[in-house]
Amino acid sequence: MLATLMSLSCQKSSTQQETASADSVVVAINTLTDEEKAAGWELLFDGSTLNGWKRFNHDTIGPLWSVQEGAIMCNGQGLGEGTANIGGSLITTRPFENFELSLEWKLSPGGNSGIIYHVVEDPKYKHDYETGPEFQVMDDTGWKDSLREEQKAGSNYDMHAAPASKKLNPVGEWNTARLIYNSGHVEHWLNGDKVVEFEEGSADFTARYKKSKWVDHPDWNKFKSGAISLQDHGAPVYYRNIKIRAL
């Protein structure tokens, strides 16, 4: 009997620890610690609404973007990038200049999205990426076409490749992204590791630019203040714990 009671007690203790652990994770999602608040961080997503966000070049959010289980979701299953009338990237209603951005993302199999910054709206721009650089969000192994290294997850899209040694969690699991822009100095972090670093206007940057697709978009990277954008690329994608602080 004593052995049975001890076994039940251990099982109960284990269950309580798992519950407590699970509860702490739930509490931590889409919140700021006292230390983060003191450091100037603010939430861009409250965990339950799309307040502070809008669809690129539209007055309404549209049907693809919603909040699901504490995450912003784009349900673009089977649709193309920015599908006319209902599609389009989700952008902040506020502009940001120099900043540090932190968030978590996960993709569906074969998914593609991106975190784009200094985005400016105008009817002459069909997509958000025509004005701002992109931290690539990608299922590197499941994408339908072949990819160059600078098109894979964590890269500065079509410019600077994240290394092949990067830590990328499997599809369906959360990845952590950190993006720093400070007066032309840019850093991409993926799951705790710095994977890209560059200086705008440097000789290396200019050489890469001249070989990229961006030469066909004359206003790309011309704006140094603009919205943060979560890209609609025709696949389900999820974002949460979206935090930013001005630099």
Q: What is the 3-state secondary structure (H, E, C) of 21-46?
A: HHHHHHHHCCCCCHHHHHCCCEECCC
pLDDT digits (tens, 9 = 90+) for 37-74: 999 999 999 999 999 999 999 999 999 999 999 999 99
Q: How far is CA 11 from CA 2, 3, 19, 241, in A?
A: 14, 12, 12, 33
The domain containing residue 5 runs over which residues? 1-30
Say whether both 108 and 65 belong to one domain: yes
Say whether both 132 and 218 belong to one domain: yes
CB of 32 closer than 8 Å to CB of 41: yes
pLDDT digits (tens, 9 = 90+) for 175-218: 999 999 999 999 999 999 999 999 999 999 999 999 999 999 99
Say whether both 24 and 40 belong to one domain: no
* Total domains, the chain: 2
Say whether both 101 and 164 belong to one domain: yes
Say whether both 79 and 8 belong to one domain: no
The model's pTM is: 0.88
Say whether both 91 and 12 belong to one domain: no
Q: Which of 5-9, 58-62, 100-104 has the lowest mean pLDDT?
A: 5-9
